[in-house]
Amino acid sequence: MHTRRFSNVIGIDDAPFTPKRTNTLNESYDELVTVVGAVYAKLSLHGVLIFKVTQDGDDATDALINAIKESKFLEHIQLIMLQGIAFGGFNVVDVPRLSKSLNKSVLVVSRREPDMAKIKKALLEKVPNGSKKLSLIEALGPMEPAAGLFIQRYGLTRNEAFSTIKNFSINGLIPEPIRVAHLIGGALIRGISSGRV
């Protein structure tokens, strides 16, 4: 079977935000969370998308679809790389719907394997529409190790995912599109980029 090479990729990560769970009487939280997309052609940054999602909401999938569909990069992007399956807390992406709506493969990347027992408890006890969000996560299957990271994938093989991560990782394990989206998000909110992805 032929292994496809993905050279045009968008990496998506959310920017820092104040979560609801740390909210006190004297502290507000961010209702809307900034999300950044870094568009790459091979190892060259070609563009940036910025959009918003509701913290712990249900609009991440539609926001992603609309941001990419309305951009000038739609035809060039071959693969969508997500830093985790949720943005703005527990705003979970429906990965199959995202892939089918845009006709693009989707690769979910995480530095660490998620604690599914903890995630399940939080979703079912504290998050609106938590059971639906949990079913979206579980439907994609468990995360699998690849190139020093953990991944979920839709529309590409494990070998294609592995080679894509390797091709785009030049400053550590995290692929450049996600790493740069993370840096841009930090700078937008805090005025300076910082922190590991």
* Matching residue, tokens 């660490």: 112
pLDDT mean across residues, the chain: 92
Cα–Cα–Cα angle for 51, 53, 57, nearest 5°? Answer: 170
What pLDDT band is residue 25 in, cutting at 50, 70 and 90? low
Q: Is the pLDDT of residue 31 over 70?
A: yes
d(CA 82, CA 169): 15
* Domain at 22, CATH number: 3.30.2170.10
What distances in angstroms separate CA 103 from CA 99, 143, 160, 164, 170, one per listed residue? 5, 22, 17, 18, 27
Quickly count: other Cβ atoms within 10 Å of residue 158's Cβ. Answer: 12
pLDDT tens column, 35-72: 999 999 999 999 999 999 999 999 999 999 999 999 99
Cβ pair 105, 6 in contact under 8 A: yes
Tokens 């998050």 sit on residue: 127
Rounded Cα distance between 176 and 148, Å, is 15
Within-domain flag for 196: no
Sheet of strand 44-54, all strands in order from the earlier edge strand to the far edge: 44-54, 32-41, 8-14, 79-83, 105-110, 149-154, 144-146
Any domain includes 195: no
Answer whether residue 152 is part of any domain: yes
Q: Which residue has the tokens 């989707």?
A: 106
Beta bridge partners of 132: none
Residue 35 bridge partners (DSSP): 14, 51
Number of domains in the chain: 1
Helices first, then strands: H and E counts in the chain: 6, 9
Q: Give the per-residue pLDDT at 193.
A: 82
Q: Residue 197 falls within a domain, yes or no?
A: no
73 is a domain residue? yes
Answer yes or no: is 3 within a domain: no
Task: Tell me, yes or no, whether 31 lies in a domain.
Answer: yes
Q: Output the pTM of the full model.
A: 0.93
Q: Is residue 151 part of a domain?
A: yes
Which residue range forms the structural domain that includes residue 162?
8-190
